[in-house]
Amino acid sequence: MDISVIGSGYVGTTIAACFADLGHSVVNIDVDADVVEAINAGDTLIHEEGLPELVAKHAGENGTGRLRATTNYEALLETDVTFLCLPTPQYDDGSIDLSIIETGAEQLGETLKGKSGWHTVVVKSTVVPGTTDDVLTPIIESASGRTAGEDVGVGMNPEFLREGTAVTDFLDPDKIVLGADDERTRRDMQEVFAPLEAETGAPVVETDTRTAEMIKYANNAFLATKVSLINDLGNICKEFGIDAYEVADAIGLDDRISEQFLRSGVGWGGSCFPKDVAAIIAAAKANDYEPTVLEAAVELNDKQPERLLELLDSHVDVEGERVAVLGLAFKPGTDDTRNSRAIEVIEGLQARGARVVGYDPVATENMRERFPDVTYAESAAEALEGAVGAVVVTDWDEFAALDDGFEAMKELVVVDGRRIIEPTPKITYEGLTW
Ligand code: UGA
């Protein structure tokens, strides 16, 4: 099939390259000329494992020719289906800002005036239930002069890609969710995903656009709440001197619970869980419903960094002293510091008058933008030198091998928020939930 993908962020570029890999002919449309130039040279500015290889395989001089990029919306006229992968940032009240995707939908609709016959549009961006039907479809209809279900279709296909493993998550999905409100749109979406379904046998969930939108929020809200629940139980374990990881291993054997997302600690961050949970809470409240459990999940998540610091307080007074923060990224395998728990940890240490020294193998520059006054070390060992305490915020593997590294500390107090450090008799070790 001929597919256009509007937006070249980590989702847009990943799906464009993966669709090309599945045999489709794909054009990726983006306003940023540098991004477009990179793709056309067989390269990408997005750091995702396996993505540079896929882009090189299908774009550029030595590629299969199945992937190209352009800044020109007219390119979508040569395609059957257009995926909208534009960002939906967050307002202060948690609700999502649709202005970028609305502008994209309008431009897409305007461009469609130049095409005769049917065109299918698929919303890939995460949007609250009803957005496709109530907001985006009317914009596309009025800009294109078309009628949904007659000569244009608007479907919704949520993404479940994790940062760092987006390519494998796409090519080996747990499920494929196709939301459509008419048969023709549904058929086009089935055709796009048929090669993936055939290759992987992944279950295909066919539903309407509103339900597809809700499935995305329910998925992320459930997982975030699962982590908050294991953190709540983990905090109880700590009070009783019980190891929450031993408990999690046991309850994870129950198929109804499953072993995944049971790692307790300093909580969840990133660009997805915090934003999506906030957005569905805001949407629920706008409909006069109080989502009690989701609000509690956020409240608990917000408190974990302070619990970590209180454990440190119980061993040392950090005022005027050097404290090492090990890990700045919201999870290992990424340089993304958005909503990282390290932010609250650094703020809490600064409020205590500590001299913070941060270390992360890849995320330092992103954290430096947020905290230019913090000292950043080149290695974990350097961060630990002369520190009265170390707090672990990201479970990078290299922290498991620090061993003697702690001996350069002024006081050997380590508070682990991710269960990654191997405690030795020489260090005073506190696990957040064990
Ligand atoms: C998440 C979802 O997992 C994806 O399915 C979804 O597509 C994506 O959001 C999105 O909406 O785009 P991601 O934000 O990349 O993916 O990160 P996760 O791997 O899910 O981790 C989220 C946070 O939870 C991290 O801070 C991680 O450290 C924390 N976490 C995860 C725990 O604290 N404990 C766990 O057991 C698992």
Domain hosting residue 69, numbered range? 2-207
Residue identifier of the C-alpha nearest atom 36 of ligand 1 = 261
**CB of residue 265 inside a 6 A radius of ligand 1:** yes
- Judgement on whether residues 235 and 151 belong to the same structural domain of the protein: no
**CB of residue 263 inside a 6 A radius of ligand 1:** yes
Q: How far is the CA of 381 from the centre of ligand 1 (A)?
A: 28
Q: How far apart are the first and last CA of the chain?
A: 53
- Residue 294: what pLDDT? 98
Q: How far is the CA of 366 from the centre of ligand 1 (A)?
A: 19
272 is catalytic: yes
Q: Which atom of ligand 1 is nearest to the CA of 330?
A: 26
Please name the amino acid found at residue 213: E
| Higher local confidence (pLDDT), 405 or 20 | 20
Residue 214 lies inside a defined structural domain of this protein: no
Q: How confident is the model at residue 404 (pLDDT cuts 50, 70, 90)?
A: confident
Residue 213 lies inside a defined structural domain of this protein: no
Residue identifier of the C-alpha nearest atom 7 of ligand 1 = 160
- Judgement on whether residues 153 and 11 belong to the same structural domain of the protein: yes
- Judgement on whether residues 97 and 170 belong to the same structural domain of the protein: yes
- Judgement on whether residues 298 and 330 belong to the same structural domain of the protein: no
- Residue 403: what pLDDT? 82
- Judgement on whether residues 9 and 135 belong to the same structural domain of the protein: yes
- Judgement on whether residues 27 and 174 belong to the same structural domain of the protein: yes
Using the 3D structure, point to which of 207, 238, 270 is the last residue of a domain. Answer: 207
Residue 370 lies inside a defined structural domain of this protein: yes
Residue 254 lies inside a defined structural domain of this protein: yes
Tens digit of each residue's pLDDT (9 = 90 or more) over 189-211: 999 999 999 999 999 999 999 99
Residue 217 lies inside a defined structural domain of this protein: no
Tens digit of each residue's pLDDT (9 = 90 or more) over 351-379: 999 999 999 999 999 999 999 999 999 99
- Judgement on whether residues 182 and 269 belong to the same structural domain of the protein: no
**CB of residue 268 inside a 6 A radius of ligand 1:** yes
- Judgement on whether residues 136 and 147 belong to the same structural domain of the protein: yes
- Residue 47: what pLDDT? 83
Q: How far is the CA of 273 from the centre of ligand 1 (A)?
A: 7
Using the 3D structure, point to which of 284, 302, 320 is the last residue of a domain. Answer: 302
Residue identifier of the C-alpha nearest atom 29 of ligand 1 = 268
CA-CA distance, 424 to 394, in Å (whole number)? 20
- Residue 415: what pLDDT? 98
Residue identifier of the C-alpha nearest atom 22 of ligand 1 = 268
- Judgement on whether residues 201 and 230 belong to the same structural domain of the protein: no
Tens digit of each residue's pLDDT (9 = 90 or more) over 31-52: 999 999 999 999 998 888 999 9
Q: Which atom of ligand 1 is nearest to the CA of 126?
A: 11
**Under DSSP, is residue 145 helix (H, G, I), strand (E, B) or coil?**
coil
The first and second tokens of residue 393, run together, are 């915020």
Percent of the chain with pLDDT over 90: 98
Q: What is the mean pLDDT of the chain?
A: 97
Choose among 218, 228, 331: nearest CA to 270: 331
Per the listing, tokens 């610091």 go with 309
pTM: 0.96
CA-CA distance, 393 to 370, in Å (whole number)? 17
Q: How far is the CA of 162 from the centre of ligand 1 (A)?
A: 7
- Residue 336: what pLDDT? 94
- Judgement on whether residues 184 and 308 belong to the same structural domain of the protein: no
Residue 238 lies inside a defined structural domain of this protein: yes
- Judgement on whether residues 279 and 313 belong to the same structural domain of the protein: no
| Residues in contact with 413: Cβ distance below 8 Å, sequence separation at least 6, in sequence order | 312, 315, 316, 388, 389, 390, 427, 428, 430
Please name the amino acid found at residue 335: D
Tens digit of each residue's pLDDT (9 = 90 or more) over 68-122: 999 999 999 999 999 999 999 999 999 999 999 999 999 999 999 999 999 999 9
Q: Which atom of ligand 1 is nearest to the CA of 266?
A: 33
CA-CA distance, 205 to 177, in Å (whole number)? 5
- Residue 77: what pLDDT? 98
Tens digit of each residue's pLDDT (9 = 90 or more) over 206-250: 999 999 999 999 999 999 999 999 999 999 999 999 999 999 999
Residue 215 lies inside a defined structural domain of this protein: no
Using the 3D structure, point to which of 302, 321, 345 is the last residue of a domain. Answer: 302
pLDDT of 185 strictly over 90:
yes
Q: How far is the CA of 157 from the centre of ligand 1 (A)?
A: 19
Q: Which atom of ligand 1 is nearest to the CA of 164?
A: 15
DSSP for residue 9: S
Q: Give the number of domains in the chain.
A: 3
Q: How far is the CA of 228 from the centre of ligand 1 (A)?
A: 12
- Judgement on whether residues 47 and 193 belong to the same structural domain of the protein: yes
**CB of residue 162 inside a 6 A radius of ligand 1:** yes
- Residue 290 belongs to a domain with what CATH number? 3.40.50.720
Residue identifier of the C-alpha nearest atom 34 of ligand 1 = 263
Residue 349 lies inside a defined structural domain of this protein: yes
Q: Going by DSSP bridges, is the β-strand pair 81-84/25-29 parallel, antiparallel, or unpaired?
A: unpaired
**CB of residue 227 inside a 6 A radius of ligand 1:** yes
